[in-house]
Chains A and B, each alone.
Chain A
Amino acid sequence: MSAILEGSKAVAESVRLCRPNLVCAYPITPQTHIVEELAGMVADGRLEAGFVLAESEFGAASIVLGGSAVGGRTYTATSSQGLLLMVEVIFNIAGLRLPVVMTCANRAVSAPINIWNDQQDAVSIRDSGWIQLYVEDNQEALDTHIQAFRIAEELMIPVMVCMDGYVLTHTMEPVDLPTQEDVDSFLPPYEPKYRLDPDDPFTMGAMVGPDAYMETRYHVHMDMMEARSVIARVAEEYAEAFGRHHGGLIETYDLEGADVVLVSMGSLLGTMREAVDELREEGLKVGLLKVRCFRPFPKEAIHDALMGVGIVGVIEKDISLGLEGTLCSEMRAAFCGEESPEISSFIMGLGGRDITVEEIKQIAWDLARNPACRVEFRGLREELLRGDEG
Chain B
Amino acid sequence: MAVEERWVINLMEPGHTGCAGCGQAIAARLVLKAAGPRVIVANATGCLEVYTTTYPRSSWEVPWIHSLFENAAAVAAGMEVTLKAMGRYEGIKIIAQAGDGGTADIGIGCISGMFERGHDILYVCYDNEGYMNTGYQRSGLTPLRARTTTSPPGRLSYGNRTRKKNMPMIAVAHGVPYVATATVSEPRDLMRKVQRALEIEGPKYLHILVPCVPGWGYESELTVELARLAVETNLFPLFEVENGVIARVKKPKEARPVEDYLRPQRRFAHLFQPGGEEVLEELRRIAEENSRLEPGPARLFGPGAPE
CB within 8 Å of B: which residues of A? Answer: 21-22, 24, 48-56, 58-59, 62-72, 74, 88-89, 92, 96, 196-198, 200-209, 212
Please list 7 pairs of residues, one from A and one from B, whose beta carbons are closer than 8 Å in the complex, sorted by A's number.
A49-B85, A58-B70, A66-B67, A70-B79, A205-B65, A206-B54, A206-B55
Q: Is the CB of A207 within 8 A of B54?
A: yes
Q: Is the CB of A52 within 8 A of B117?
A: yes
Q: Is the CB of B74 within 8 A of A74?
A: no
Say yes or no for B179: interface residue by CB 8 A criterion: no
Which A residues lie within 8 Å of B68 (CB)? Answer: 62, 88-89, 92
Say yes or no for B154: interface residue by CB 8 A criterion: no
Q: B64 is contacted by which of A21, A54, A56, A203 (Cβ under 8 Å)?
A: A203
Distance in Å: Cβ of A207 to nearest Cβ of chain B:
5
Say yes or no for B76: interface residue by CB 8 A criterion: yes
Q: B82 is contacted by which of A53, A74, A89, A206 (Cβ under 8 Å)?
A: A74
Q: Is the CB of A21 within 8 A of B77?
A: no
Q: Is the CB of B67 within 8 A of A96?
A: yes
Q: Is the CB of B53 within 8 A of A55?
A: no
Q: B67 is contacted by which of A56, A65, A67, A203 (Cβ under 8 Å)?
A: A65
- Assuming the contacts A198-B62, A203-B60, A204-B65, asked whether A22 and B71 have C-beta atoms less than 8 A apart, the reply is no
Which B residues lie within 8 Å of A50 (CB)? Answer: 81-82, 84-85
Q: Is the CB of B54 within 8 A of A66?
A: no
Which of these binds chain A: B106-114, B229-237, B276-284? B106-114
Distance in Å: Cβ of A107 to nearest Cβ of chain B:
23
Q: Is the CB of B92 within 8 A of A59?
A: no
- Assuming the contacts A52-B77, A198-B38, asked whether A58 and B82 have C-beta atoms less than 8 A apart, the reply is no
Q: Which of B168-216 contact A (CB under 8 A)?
A: none
Chain B interface size, as a band, is 35 or more
Q: Is the CB of A55 within 8 A of B113?
A: yes
Distance in Å: Cβ of B61 to nearest Cβ of chain A:
6
B87 nearest in chain A by CB position: A21
Q: Is the CB of B81 within 8 A of A59?
A: no
Which B residues lie within 8 Å of A96 (CB)? Answer: 65, 67
Say yes or no for B3: interface residue by CB 8 A criterion: no
Distance in Å: Cβ of B29 to nearest Cβ of chain A:
16
Distance in Å: Cβ of B120 to nearest Cβ of chain A:
13
- Assuming the contacts A22-B81, A50-B82, A92-B68, asked whether A65 and B63 have C-beta atoms less than 8 A apart, the reply is no
- Assuming the contacts A55-B112, A89-B67, asked whether A63 and B75 have C-beta atoms less than 8 A apart, the reply is yes
Q: Is the CB of A63 within 8 A of B50?
A: no
CB within 8 Å of A: which residues of B? Answer: 37-40, 42, 49-50, 53-56, 58, 60-68, 70-71, 74-86, 88, 92, 109-110, 112-113, 116-117
C-alpha gap A289/B60 in the complex (Å): 51
C-alpha gap A74/B79 in the complex (Å): 11
Q: Is the CB of A209 within 8 A of B63?
A: no
Which B residues lie within 8 Å of A207 (CB)? Answer: 49-50, 53-55, 66
Q: Is the CB of A67 within 8 A of B81?
A: yes
B115 nearest in chain A by CB position: A55
Which A residues lie within 8 Å of B50 (CB)? Answer: 207
Which B residues lie within 8 Å of A54 (CB)? Answer: 74, 113
Q: Is the CB of B63 within 8 A of A196?
A: yes
Which A residues lie within 8 Å of B86 (CB)? Answer: 21, 70-72
B63 nearest in chain A by CB position: A196
Q: Is the CB of A201 within 8 A of B63?
A: yes
Which B residues lie within 8 Å of A22 (CB)? Answer: 78, 81-82, 85
Q: B78 is contacted by which of A64, A203, A204, A212 (Cβ under 8 Å)?
A: A64
Which A residues lie within 8 Å of B65 (CB)? Answer: 66, 69, 96, 196, 203-205
Most chain B beta-carbon contacts within 10 A, residue among A24, A62, A66, A96: A66
Q: Is the CB of A21 within 8 A of B82?
A: yes
Which B residues lie within 8 Å of A92 (CB)? Answer: 67-68
Which A residues lie within 8 Å of B116 (CB)? Answer: 55
Q: Is the CB of A204 within 8 A of B113?
A: no
Which A residues lie within 8 Å of B39 (CB)? Answer: 198
Which 7 A-B residue pairings sit nearest by Cβ, starting from the closest? A66-B78, A55-B113, A62-B74, A67-B82, A72-B82, A205-B66, A50-B85
Q: Is the CB of B37 within 8 A of A67?
A: no
Q: Is the CB of A205 within 8 A of B77?
A: no
- Assuming the contacts A89-B68, A92-B67, asked whether A62 and B79 have C-beta atoms less than 8 A apart, the reply is no
C-alpha gap A64/B85 in the complex (Å): 13
Q: A66 is contacted by which of B60, B74, B88 (Cβ under 8 Å)?
A: B74
Q: Is the CB of A24 within 8 A of B78?
A: yes
Which A residues lie within 8 Å of B85 (CB)? Answer: 21-22, 48-50, 72
